[in-house]
Structure 1
Amino acid sequence: LQQVQPQGEDVISGNVSLPKVNVRGVVSNLLRQRETKQGPERVGQTDSDVINLVSMLFDFILDDDNLPVPVKALLGRLQIPYLKLAIQDYSFFSRGGHPARKLLNELARAGIGLNEDADHLKKDMVFKKIQSTAQRILTEYEKEAVLFDELLHDFSQFMQTEVRRSQMIEQRTKAAEEGKAKAQLAEKTALETVRQRLDGKTVPEVVVRLLTDGWMGVLKLVFLKYGPESNNWLGAVKTIDHLLLSVAPTEDDAARKKLFNIVPILLKNLRQGLNSVSFNPF
């Protein structure tokens, strides 16, 4: 049996056709093994029904277009051991939730949607687990159906862990994507805010650099931490207005008095904001 089974690398690379099982030949061998203990036997109606049901079971799985060819090749290798099991244990079909049937269903379900690319499969943990589980069935199963209980438990535990791991990765990826999108929005909003405030004004170059190189970073930080509707954001924008007011020429006494009152607060806010983004204007 092992001599005719495709090897792992062949399965992964896709250099293998789906197994063609000589069902009658397998059954004949099984019956010959029985003859030594129970006398001559022939294929009865029950065995014929079992053969047909096993064939239908695997045909259903291997005809699924959602199952990658490498996975089909792995599962197709299991037809002989499953046929042996079904003939030796008629409860394979009559018993609901038979571990061997559940295991086969779990293996097929896990394989649906896997990437067929050979390089990807070599690294795919789910495919590797399907492969190792199938190999254990081929090499370890003789007549003890308890193997399927062990393999079912092991594979189910693996998939539960894998699902949790995948969900965690998905959540982290989603959070990273959302964080990136939010950072881009913060950058855009900060840039537009500074441009709007500078539009149409004659402003000293040193102030322009302070706003574009330093205060832009403050705006982005405030946007990300508190949002554009927060008082912190409104305060950061108001600081820009006060800074521009402080460098605008004026002859109005009231405006000068107002400027005199806001300069200390302006300097304090500028210092705190620029320190928060580690910006040194000097």
Structure 2
Amino acid sequence: MDIVLYALTALLYGGLAVTGWRAYRTVAAGGRGGAPAMFPNVAHVEARSLRAAASGMTPTERGLLCVALVVHGVLLHTTIFPRDAMVFGFAFALSAMFWLGAGIYWIESFFFPLDGLRLLVLPLAAGASLLPLFFGGVRVLPYAAAPLFKLHFIIANVAYGLFAIAALHAVLMLFAERRLHALRGSIERHAAGGWLASWLDTLPALLTLEKLLFRLIAAGFVLLTLTLLSGILFSEQLVDRALTLDHKTVFALLSWVMFGALLTARRVSGWRGRAALRWVLASFAALLLAYVGSRFVFEVLLHRPVV
């Protein structure tokens, strides 16, 4: 049964990704062969046509993406919680992150012109959904029945998923900002930009991406705070110790401080731009080391279980 869910999830994500890329390539090829480059407004005309193509997700495609999210969610539940036990690892963590990321994209696309992001989000979700087939997790039997642990686990995964999609937004914003400066420099640089430059033209405006970015970070910060608090409570219940300063805890606390400082600077002084985006990526890197990175090192490189 699990293999059917794996295949169906990857097929739905992959099919939607291929459909989106084909629509993009068709319009991009038409745009390159259309208006002459001598006209000063050609870059903006092509950008508008590419955005129109990237925003062309039909109701059927939206419905299929909803089905993919449901199937992926069922797959995660059946593989992580088999028969009152629990199996988890870095591959399951990445799969859950991109499931949540695809879900956030699907919800936000009803309110913002974000369909250009599916060209990146859906292929990554398709690949991540298959990772547990190749990298199995470890059984966490003693904790599976504890309600507090399940709550801590769900909150943590939602928080990490929010920060993962926020980091993706930050990367896209850095590229989009560079692209905007290139467009201001000369039209010839636009024409020589290639497929990456054309794809960047399908993304929403920088202000829209920035608004979404800090909404995601604010929500993730609240959930990360709850994750740390529930982790302390669970640790007290399990080993009668409130906080264990291992590598996972240190990096989680470091990322919490860094994200908190970012939100404070944003609220107090309106911090934005490349420096803020790089701070987002550095904060996410610390969180990744606390979560997925530590599991990858222990499970794949050291062949040791980690819980």
Query: Is the shorter-chain TM-score for this pair beyond 0.5, marking a shared fold?
Result: no
Bin the TM-score by the shorter chain.
under 0.3
If the length of structure 2 is used for normalisation, what is the TM-score? Answer: 0.25
If the length of structure 1 is used for normalisation, what is the TM-score? Answer: 0.27
